[in-house]
Amino acid sequence: MKTIRALAILCLASACTQSTPEAEPTKADAKTADAKYDTKATGETDKPKPRGKQVPPPSDVAEAPADATKTSSGLAYKVLQPGSGDATPKPNDSVKLLMTGWTTDGTTIETTEATGKPKTMPVGKTPMPGMAEALQLMHAGEKVRVWIPQELAYNGAKGRPPGMLVYDIELQEIIAAPETPADVAAPPADAKKTKSGLAYKVLSPGTGKEHPHEWDKVTVNYSGWTTDGKMFDSSVTRGKPASFNLKQVIPGWTEGIPLMVQGEKTRFWIPKELAYEGKPGKPQGMLVFDVELIEFEKLPEPPPPPETPKDVAAAPKDAKKTASGLAYKVLTKGKGGDKPKADSRVTVHYSGWTTDGKMFDSSVVRNRPATFPLGNVIKGWTEGLQLMSVGEKTRFWIPEELAYQGKPGKPAGMLVFDVELIEFK
């Protein structure tokens, strides 16, 4: 379910439409085991260069000693300090831990010693299979040293720490994932259903009386599963609630959360047409979410969506065209004066349509202008906004080769944008 911040910028740069905030943990996970490595190193071996705090390695960093235990996969480990309790982490759980990692030559690749603060790590989403295996062997309070062979670490991936890696890990806390709902495969008979097909059931009542509007900002804890019981995202295991505007998430969330009051916990069965509609790289089919509404912030009601342009199918005869094929027409004249450059940072209001008249993105609907560097958006925007002055509103017909070039999951074909340039730096 991502991050949510700078959604307008991301939509222009990568054509995202509505999404849940699941991108956030994914980015964090990617940095789990090589946060202290410089992946821009070059040379014949392309070995990354270490950076950050260096911690003296253990005397047995080069290889596992004879008294280390070895698993069938080839992972070796040695308990340095016993833990407590019988519980061990499961793949869906997260853990809080202190850790330091080295290559076998004693180079520190990452350490929590720099901050002294524990790291929260999703067990099943670590980039190294050996790390996931090692964590599932541990108990809270336990400290172990693990020797992760290359094939269970980064397996020779370019720009990653090479060879066998050695970690000292202290497991401070297990953050248990919510159990998979027994009714994850389909909504039960006592679930309510809206006209759109969204099904829901209140798990525990709230204390509030008011409901958020579909344009308000909410803070929630949530977990999401596919109907086969696989959990794909959870703010609970990240140990941090998610906050976002309800206009920025999948339609099933935009519709469902306004049915709740503060403190309420509800289970939603969201059909695929109200979720990701089969988009590549997204959870497929019907999705099931347990959502707890922690609080919400009332925001001003946004204006109604802009009308679809009558000339959305093709640029009219009075539109101007550049050498690249970009067509444009000034709808409202600006103040004149300087115009943005390719490296300017601009603030705009905009709405975008495909040529069949379907709106796929709009800062107007979100009631929040978008600010971004012109170098970070599609070519048609980088070129087109340099033609505008502050206060101007222009319609652009951007051919596919200046838009998303047929990339899967992006708006296809020529795109039409109405853009108002508010300011630039």
Residues annotated catalytic, as ranges: 350, 360-361, 378, 404, 417
CB 131 within 8 A of CB 95: no
Nearest to 237 by CA among 253, 249, 255, 225: 225
Residues forming beta bridges with residue 296, ordered by sequence position: 218
Q: Distance between CA atoms of 354 and 308, rounded to whole angstroms? A: 10
Backbone dihedral angles phi then psi of residue 80, each to the nearest 5 degrees: -95, -30
CB 120 within 8 A of CB 177: no
Residues constituting the chain:
425
Nearest to 210 by CA among 296, 129, 114: 296
| CB-count exposure of residue 82 (10 Å: 0-12, 13-18, 19+) | exposed
Q: Which two tokens stand for residue 274?
A: 């109200």
Q: Distance between CA atoms of 348 and 423, rounded to whole angstroms? A: 7
Q: Distance between CA atoms of 382 and 137, rounded to whole angstroms? A: 52
Q: Which two tokens stand for residue 416?
A: 């039409």
Nearest to 222 by CA among 160, 165, 294: 294
Contact partners, residue 160, CB within 8 Å, separation at least 6: 34, 37, 39, 48, 153, 154
Q: How many CB atoms lie within 10 A of CB 175?
A: 18
Residues forming beta bridges with residue 244, ordered by sequence position: 218
Nearest to 238 by CA among 362, 92, 136: 92
Residue 371 amino acid letter: T
Contact partners, residue 52, CB within 8 Å, separation at least 6: 35, 36, 108, 110, 111, 114
Place of tokens 């260096």: 54
